[in-house]
Amino acid sequence: MSHPVLEISSMSVDYLVDPVVHAVRDVSLTLARGEVLGLAGESGCGKSTLAYAVTRLLKPPASIVGGRALFHSREGYAIDLGELHGEELRAFRWDKVAMVFQGAMNSLNPVIRIRDQLEDVFTTHRPDVDKRRRRERCAELLTRVGVDPGRLNAYPHELSGGMRQRVMIAMALALDPQVLIMDEPTTALDVVVQREILQEITRLRAELGFAVVFITHDLPLLLEISDRIAVMREGRIVELADARTLYTAPTHEYTRQLLDSFPSLTGTRGGFVRDGSQASPAAPARTEVAS
């Protein structure tokens, strides 16, 4: 593994209600520079809570009750995210670690043009950039994610769901972050647009060199794009392996259940054929589901 860009150590998050909900339990993960790390698991297992804890976006009654997250900058210094507050924390977000939220394509302000919403990132975080350069940069960002820059003058309702999602990805990449956390970024999209978005993310990652934490319940999709995959259940990481190993030889029963839950289009029912205690893939489910 290359040098780490993000280290999560023994992270625990509780929702302080009655009774207390232990949403994330002693999770440790390391994200390598330039890596795509998939985080899979059923709804409610703690995936999004972990992402919000790392980015310090949790709101009461959620509370980090243990562990820490360290960010390792390209410049060689480490930042304990738990020690950032106020202006330091605001400056860190989007600049070093950016996030594409679940349902992000509906997060754009419906009464403000796309250009103004993109430019707002620069006026807030790069106030020294002049207006001409801001506008050039907005056009560059849309082009980079495969959207015609002419759409800068459009309102969100004038764009398709896939275009709005691309705009949100462009916004997340505006300040050249080193880590991009994507929380269910393609859930509301049809499979054709989903494939296009995944191809753009893969291309941009190769071009710009950022690392990705890709969160979804769709394990076959992660098998398509991830270097490594962590499987989460009831707040814990129950399995962590490279994508090929996890596909061909899962070690945890829950991982096997997730793989089996996606039907094959050719071959026997269930994603896997059992040969004694050995599990082997019956059909390339990751290609069929994500394509």
Question: Quick one: which of 86, 82, 79, 91 has its CA closest to 13?
Answer: 82
User: What is the average pLDDT across 192-198?
Assistant: 86
Q: Kindly report the average pLDDT of the chain as a whole number.
A: 87
Q: Which domain holds residue 140?
A: 4-290
Token digits for 150? 């002419």
Cβ count within 10 A of residue 33: 17
User: Which has the closest alpha carbon to 3: 78, 65, 103?
Assistant: 78
For the segment 52-94, what is each residue's pLDDT rounded down to a tens digit?
999 999 999 999 999 999 999 988 889 999 999 998 998 898 8
Beta bridge partners of 281: 272
Give the integer Cα–Cα distance in Å for 181 and 214.
6
Beta bridge partners of 215: 39, 183
Paired residues of 100 in beta bridges: 182
- Residue positions counted in the chain: 291
| Residue (of 1, 27, 204, 245) closest to 100 by Cα position | 204
d(CA 137, CA 174): 8
Dihedral over alpha carbons 127, 130, 133, 135 (to 10 degrees): 80
- Looking at the predicted structure, is the pLDDT value of residue 265 above 90? no
The 10s digit of each residue's pLDDT in 280-289 is 333 333 333 3
- Domain of 249: which CATH number? 3.40.50.300
Specify the pTM.
0.86
The C-alpha atoms of residue 26 and residue 31 are separated, in whole angstroms, by 16
Query: Using CA atoms, how far apart are residues 165 and 106, in angstroms rounded to an integer?
Result: 8
Convert the pLDDT of each residue in 108-142 to its tens digit.
Answer: 999 999 999 999 999 989 999 999 999 999 999 99
For the chain, what is the domain count? 1
Residue type for 98, please? A
Cα distance between residue 147 and residue 257, in whole Å: 38
Q: SS3 string of 121-148?
A: HHHHHCCCCCHHHHHHHHHHHHHHCCCC
Query: Which SS3 state, helix, strand or coil, does residue 11 take?
Result: strand
Tokens of 179: 């880590």
Does the pLDDT of residue 291 top 50, yes or no? no
Please answer whether residues 62 and 49 qualify as being in contact, where contact means their C-beta atoms are separated by less than 8 angstroms: yes
| pLDDT band, very low/low/confident/very high, at 105 (cuts 50, 70, 90) | low
CB under 8 Å to 234, separation ≥6 — which residues?
A: 25, 45, 46
Tokens for 147, please give them. Answer: 């959207």
